[in-house]
Chain A
Amino acid sequence: MKSSVIIFPGSNCDRDMNVALNKFGFKNQMVWHNDAEIPKSDLIVLPGGFSYGDYLRCGSIAGKSRIIKSVVNFANSGGLVLGICNGFQILTETGLLPGILQQNKYLNFICKNVFVKIKNKENKYFKNINKEVLELHIAHNEGNYFCSKDELKSIEDNGQIAVTYCDDKGNEDEYNNPNGAIKNIAGIFNKDKNILGMMPHPERMIDPFLSGEDGSLFFENLIGNV
């Protein structure tokens, strides 16, 4: 299974993602944002970081870069596209995912482990994970998911909410919402569920000695379903 991680100027989770993908059996290649074409891939990943220094709005400049046309074509033909953190922001700025990630409600950069509840398993990203709640890491300043009321209704009606912030037992309350995201949303799909954007970093949870292993569950499941 081949994967491609796109590197933008300011990406900083690209190599962690490369390590994670290779560890779980993907044959990963790194692709520069100014390339015109993406090599043949089963999965494209937009990694975390601060593409273009977060100028204008997070992900907005990267969302217009040369490689993005290929990403959009790949996604529109049903290809799997995963955006983590800044990658999620880029996906909303390209219009592949609805809504936007705004500045965190309390104006602080948040860097900590959180629990997220899997809200939909009828997709390749979470299909065979035998857990309802995962412990993952977040590190962001703009993770406060927002969309219009109409859009939220359509997201909910179509089962597009992927993961929500919660406690270790899966309670999705305001206390366990780190950034003010609407409905505790930590990640969403497009309608067809081939595109996933989420703020938490599964690539940071693949080593029991350094962090935890719930990210391993995510990648093991993903390679099994690609």
Chain B
Amino acid sequence: MKVKVIVTLKNGVLDPQGKAIQQTLNGMTFDNVSEVRQGKYFDIEVNESDESKAKSQVEEMCKKLLANLVIEDYKIL
């Protein structure tokens, strides 16, 4: 089954790319954009039919590789 993961920077961690995107959007007349936070999205095909087993495996993957928990949070969708 396919498991989807989103990794984002934790609140309070500086996101210079997000800031640059926000400023560019403001410059393009999207004046009402007050903040952009950039993240990563993963589509993971796991050879496992049991959804909870697959998700718990992906959770391990997030902790060990996909996210660095010093600055990032992950969300399994």
Contact = CB atoms under 8 A, between A and B. Distances in A.
B13 A60 contact: no
B20 interface: yes
Interface in A37-76: 56-57, 60, 64
Interface residues of B, number: 11
Nearest to B10: A148
A102 B72 CA distance: 11
A105 interface: yes
Interface string B1-34: 0000000000001101100100000000000000
B44 interface: no
Contacts of A98: 70
Interface residues of A, number: 21
Contact of B17 (A107, A147, A180): A107
A111 to B, nearest CB: 18
Contacts of A180: 14
A109 interface: no
Given A146-B71, A180-B14, 4 more contacts: A98-B70, A102-B71, A106-B16, A107-B20
- Which 9 pairs between the two chains have the least Cβ-Cβ distance? A100-B70, A107-B16, A100-B71, A100-B68, A103-B16, A57-B68, A105-B16, A107-B20, A146-B71
27 contacts: A56-B66, A57-B68, A60-B65, A60-B68, A64-B64, A64-B65, A92-B70, A93-B68, A99-B70, A100-B68, A100-B70, A102-B13, A102-B14, A102-B71, A103-B16, A105-B14, A105-B16, A106-B16, A107-B16, A107-B20, A146-B13, A146-B14, A146-B71, A147-B70, A148-B70, A151-B70, A180-B14
Interface of A: 56-57, 60, 64, 92-93, 98-100, 102-107, 144, 146-148, 151, 180
